[in-house]
Structure 1
Amino acid sequence: MNYVITGQSFLAFAAFMGIGLLILLLAITLVALITPHKEITLIRQGNKAAGIGMAGALVGLALPINSVISHSVSLVDAAIWAAIAAVMQMLAFGISRAIITRRGPDQIDAGNESAGWFSAGVAIAVGLVNSAAMVP
């Protein structure tokens, strides 16, 4: 088979990539804003727990966005379902934070790597389920 990249196919790629990255950026920004601590600052300071948790949040958000883009029928369809996926991930994020921060938000601040790994694991696990649920 011959595959030819046309102007139209490249524009479609760019549009879907743009929507996916935009929603990923907006969602991870919201995650950073709703946390009781400054994850980016903690990561810059070398806090491994914050880095692990944020990396898990990114992967967990990207998984359903990947599925949505792969199975969508249009750019609008992809944008709507990607936004729904992001909301579901943020709900999971909130639940995991409530579980690991029952003693307060100091778990990540203190560099408790097990809290970071738990948070990352929840985000990725929910991202996988979220991803599987968003197919026709």
Structure 2
Amino acid sequence: MVHYLQGLPHFFAYLIGALVLLATFMYCYSRITPHHEWELIRAGNAAAALAYGGSILGFTIPLYSAMANSVSYLDFVLWGVIAFGVQLATFFALKLFLRQQGESLSQHITEGHQAYGTLVGSISIAVGLINAASMTW
């Protein structure tokens, strides 16, 4: 029976590490966006939920890839941090692109425009998938 549980410490290390990275990402993402995701979601704003949920999935997908393909725990954490940065950069790039079009992404989200929430969520997931695939070299 002991042989079967030999990897349990590694399991918990990776699980806890991933959960810490995820919680940190969720906290940082909600702090750096000009709109307040949790307040908007509590008020029933679907656009905020779609955008925030998509960004969480967009981070979690490459985090999974980093976990599955890493050669060590440190390797996993470093690639997780890279995924973190890519996802934050995705938000800022989309925000900048829309600003150049004369639009405010945060205003659209705050006003509950579901199309913009879906756009942010979809782009976040798409970039997350590309990011994850890039980690499988």
Question: Residue 29 of structure 1: CA displacement?
Answer: 1.2
Unaligned runs of 5+ in 2: none
Q: Distance in 2 between matches of 1:39 and 1:128?
A: 23
Describe the superposition over 1:26-46 as per-residue Cα deviations: whole angstroms up to 9, x where unpaired: 112111111111111000000
Matches of 2:31 and 2:95, distance apart in 1: 13
Query: TM-score scaled to structure 1, two decimals?
Result: 0.91
- Whichever residue aligns with residue 40 of structure 2, its letter is L
The aligned counterpart of 1:69 is: 67
Aligned residue runs from structure 1 range 1-136, under 5 A: 5-6=4-5, 8-100=6-98, 102-104=102-104, 105-136=106-137
- Between 101-110 and 31-40, report the one with greater CA deviation: 101-110
Aligned length: 132
The separation in 1 between residues aligned to 2:98 and 2:39, in whole angstroms, is 20
CA distances 1:41-66 after superposition (whole Å, capped 9, x unpaired): 00000000000001101100000000
Unpaired runs of at least 5, structure 1: none
- Alpha-carbon RMSD across the aligned residues, in angstroms, is 1.3
Identical-residue share of aligned pairs (%): 31
TM-score, normalisation: structure 2: 0.91
Q: 1:100-120: per-residue Cα shift (whole Å, max 9, x none)?
A: 454232100100000000000
Structure 1 segments (4+ residues) deviating >6 Å: none
